[in-house]
Chains A and B, each alone.
Chain A
Amino acid sequence: MTTPEPVSINRLNPDQFKHWPCDQDHCLTCALCSSTCPVSGIDGFDPRKIIRMISLGLQTELVESRWPWICTMCGKCEHVCPMSIHIPDIMRGIRSLRDRNQVPGILHKGLEAALKSGNNLGLPQEDFVFILEEVAEEIAQEPGFEGFSVSVDKEGANILTTIHNKLVNTHTEDLKHWWKIFYAAGEDWTIPAENWEGTNWGMFTGDDAAMKVMAGRIAENMARLKAKNLLWPE
């Protein structure tokens, strides 16, 4: 897609996405979105061109393209867009049109695992709690953190926090920094034993139903544990 092919005018269907509330037809093609995007240029990825393709109704080309899946949904584009076009919503919208079996593998499998097990890794609850306790023990051995412990499924805590799956997989060290801050601040916090997954791959894959399930589980945890505040870093 880096070399633009002429598109037959018969293929254009400007009404195709008219019902999307994203203001794509306001685009002035200034390219601020593409200039600010952290992943523009990867495989020629050009958000400006995506918006124009949406405006022209090139549905097949968009759904088959890898471009919408390069986007990290960070939202910088929407922030700088002088016409306030909802570009990340457009990316999600395009992703939602793809057959679920065609969704990139890691996202597809991760989301399936999350819907089934509560987290993208399919990590059983006892393994999850074991990893958290291991990390807590390591912290407790550091000077100044004697007696440190992690509170899982505590009722009535001030903060309930979700966990990014990589933190209990490849990046366990990264749990320590913010837990230490909680300790130093005397914070009353807890982590739910189940449905702790903070990433929502329903959002990234454009699957509204799955996104709702994942978000709903966090709301359920808040109610079940009567937590006062939610910390959802993802």
Chain B
Amino acid sequence: MNPATKQILVIGGGISGLSAAVDLARLGLAVILVEHSASLGGHAAHLSCKAADRCVACGACMVEEKIREADTHDAVQIFLNTRIEKIDRHNRFDVTLNQNGQCRHVSVDAVLLATGFTPFHPVNKPYGYGRFENVMTNLELDQMMRRNGAIKRPSDDEFPGNMAFIQCVGSRDSSLGHLWCSKICCGAALRMARCIQHRQPEVKATFFYIDVQNFGKNFQTYYADAQQKVQLIRSIPADVLKTADDRLKLSYFDPDTHAYQESVFDMVILSIGLMPSESTRDLAAMLNIDMAGYSFEQKSALLRPPDGVFIAGTALEPMGIAESTLSAGKAAGDIFHYLKNHDTDIR
């Protein structure tokens, strides 16, 4: 195989798509990277660095690095604001790209779906999201920290004195059909709470959880620290109400005192779940993958995709930035081996 004659279509310009594009280019393959929005980096590009007194390996800074690498590599062609119109499978894949109404045809040897996730929209949960300005999602909190370098209450621009983090909003919920753990939220919320406390030492943080999901090799290090500095309550609150002085009252059962409790907070952060994205469904359908009943726990169709089709990152299941880059690296390796063993050269 002459890698230089091979071309790969990577769909999705988030952390997985970017990583895979860079890895494939390093293997000598030509890459077409397609992103439907106007910028690269996906959800991860909005996340804040969560370092407290030192780096906690959240991975947020990897995104910029990957964008720069993909952008500067000669073998990676990037198409922003571009959707996949059509995919025809012959020996290769004939793909129609639509960039702002302009159609373009490309022929590729393999397709990588890196179509990511959709964040859960918590408007129907009893936490006042969309009604009370100081109830925010964890993604919005990250954006605020990234943009402003500090956390302030959206309603009055004041620094909060205390903050509540509610876990598993939209995850592990059979009434929504979401049985999966979203995996990244426990670590992200605890890191973020400590990051905020490092910059704004007056902030008291309370973390309402079911069980702390321990993912990532350095978890114990900062979990021990969080146990000291963050109030951890093993109970999910039932309601959030606004008080007369524009604060937020949470009601919950306190497992330590065996009592029904009401506590008042300046801000409430909802750790929203990750859901499969519509793009994954649509593109898989274009590739003749049967997506009936697909979800993060019913993904058998995606685990055995047709020849030449590969999937990486949160299109497969919830994962963090570091794991997404590993997933992308594995997909890049799989693609390279596939091309070595399958002759897709034009004859």
Bound complex: CA of A46 vs CA of B252, how far in Å? 11
Bound complex: CA of A30 vs CA of B168, how far in Å? 9
B211 interface hit (Cβ, 8 Å): yes
Chain A binding site: helix, strand, loop or mixed by DSSP? loop
**Contacting chain B: which of A8-16, A80-88, A130-138?**
A80-88
**Contacting chain B: which of A31-39, A109-117, A172-180?**
A31-39
A59 interface hit (Cβ, 8 Å): no
- Interface residue count on the A side (C-beta < 8 Å): 21
A223 interface hit (Cβ, 8 Å): no
Bound complex: CA of A140 vs CA of B122, how far in Å? 52
B235 interface hit (Cβ, 8 Å): yes
Which of A2, A35, A40, A84 makes the CB contact (< 8 A) with B237?
A35
- In the complex, number of A-B residue pairs with CB atoms less than 8 Å apart: 64
Output the residue of B237, B253, B255 with the most chain A CB within 10 A.
Answer: B253
B255 and A31 contact, CB distance less than 8 A: yes
B126 and A80 contact, CB distance less than 8 A: yes
B251 interface hit (Cβ, 8 Å): yes
Bound complex: CA of A145 vs CA of B252, how far in Å? 47
Q: A2-B258, A46-B253 are in contact. Are A84 and B235 (CB under 8 A)?
A: no
A31 and B235 contact, CB distance less than 8 A: yes
B238 and A80 contact, CB distance less than 8 A: yes
Q: Which residues of A contact B234 (CB under 8 A)?
A: 29, 31
Q: Which residues of B contact A100 (CB under 8 A)?
A: none
Output the residue of A2, A36, A48 with the most chain B CB within 10 A.
Answer: A36
B341 interface hit (Cβ, 8 Å): no
Nearest-Cβ distance from residue B236 to partner chain A, whole angstroms: 4
Q: A83-B174, A84-B174 are in contact. Are A44 and B236 (CB under 8 A)?
A: no
Which of A31, A40, A41 makes the CB contact (< 8 A) with B236?
A31
Specify the chain A residue showing the minimal Cβ separation from B260: A41
Which of A29, A32, A37, A84 makes the CB contact (< 8 A) with B260?
A37
Between A and B, 5 residue pairs with Cβ closer than 8 Å are A31-B210, A36-B239, A36-B251, A40-B260, A82-B176
A31-B255, A48-B255 given; 6 more Cβ-contact pairs under 8 Å: A30-B168, A31-B252, A35-B235, A35-B237, A81-B175, A84-B175
